[in-house]
Amino acid sequence: SQMLFLARQALEQDSIVPFYQPKIDLRTGRVMGWEALLRICSADGTILPPSEIQAAFSDSEVAVRLTERMFARVFADLANWRAVGIDPGRIAVNLSAADFRGPDLASRLQAHAEATEQGLSAIDIEVTETVLIGQLGPEVSRMLQELRKMGVMVALDDFGTGYASLTHLQEFPVDVIKIDKSFIERIDENNPKATAVIDAVLEMAMRLGMQTVAEGIETMEQARYLRARGCTMGQGYFFDRPLPACEVPRALSSET
């Protein structure tokens, strides 16, 4: 397909690049870490989002290569920042279903950590509930547990959009729940039914000892609502857009 071609071309031309969007501690307003979001940065200056190569994530071989490029870039950026005394906090990489079926994930991460002389304890992974449920079994649970032992935190991405129900939550070996932006959007409407869902998810996460990240925060009202209900972290245009690596140091230094 066209998307598969575009993805292979981007891999060959080394134009797969992470952009970084900060995750903010809603109580202190400080940057706790970043989500690495895939972008295709062509030589002519165009920047494309992952939706342009959506179908390529279903091709196992290409999907693993895309994750590998993201890992390589993220570890290189981390090494560069640390070399000049910048501590960016935690960095999360998004995984595809194929990452749980291909070469061992923990070994792959360890290889990148060794190649760049970095540890793994500041690296997080994000997995959508659809991917996790589709793959869930003793083997994937074991892989996630192994990663968590190495200091990698596991986030359940896009929570609320797939098939996962609240009852599934206790079965997932995850540290963090990311509440999908479709739920955050509805806070502004002051619709008690819409916010009831968010309230319940936050309550459940707290009882299960999981952290929570609200995605797609665009207004101060949303940030205040979520903070008041104990949501740990927030992400969204209200705080910052996904930034190229070169803009991360300034975003950190301009913190109040």
Among Mn ion, Na ion, ligand G, none, what binds residue 216 when CB lies within 5 to 8 Å by partner kind? ligand G
C-alpha span between 241 and 253 (Å, rounded) = 16
Whether the CB-CB separation of 72 and 25 falls below 8 Å is answered with no
In terms of CB distance, is 96 or 116 closer to ligand G? 96
Whether the CB-CB separation of 95 and 106 falls below 8 Å is answered with no
Among the candidate windows 47-55, 120-128, 138-146, 197-205, which touches Na ion by CB under 5 A?
Answer: 120-128
Residue 192 contacts by C-beta under 8 Å, 6 or more apart in sequence? none
Question: Helix, strand, or coil here: 67?
Answer: helix
**CA angle, 47 then 48 then 54, to 5°:** 160
Among the candidate windows 102-110, 196-204, 206-214, 216-224, which touches ligand G by CB under 6 A?
Answer: 216-224
Among Na ion, ligand G, Mn ion, none, what binds residue 237 when CB lies within 5 to 8 Å by partner kind? ligand G
Q: Which of 20, 53, 78, 94 binds Na ion (CB under 5 A)?
A: 94
Subset of residues 150 to 189 that bind ligand G, contact rule: CB under 6 A: 157-158, 181
Subset of residues 31 to 50 that bind ligand G, contact rule: CB under 6 A: 37-38, 49-50
- 157 lines the binding site for Na ion (CB under 5 A): yes
**CA angle, 85 then 88 then 89, to 5°:** 120
- 237 lines the binding site for ligand G (CB under 6 A): yes
Q: Which of 78, 176, 236, 248 binds ligand G (CB under 6 A)?
A: 236
Query: Which of 215-218's residues contact partners 24+ apart within 8 Å by CB, and which partners?
Result: 215/158, 215/178, 215/179, 215/180, 215/181, 215/184, 216/180, 216/181, 216/182, 216/184, 216/185, 217/184, 218/184, 218/185
Q: Closest residue (Cβ) to ligand G?
A: 236
Q: Which of 24, 216, 225, 234 binds ligand G (CB under 6 A)?
A: 216
- 70 lines the binding site for ligand G (CB under 6 A): yes
Cβ at position 84, least distance to ligand G in Å: 25
Beta pairing partners, 105: none
C-alpha span between 94 and 211 (Å, rounded) = 17
Contact footprint for ligand G (CB under 6 A): 21, 37-38, 49-51, 57, 70, 94, 96, 157-158, 181, 215-218, 236-237, 242
Contact footprint for Na ion (CB under 5 A): 94, 126, 157
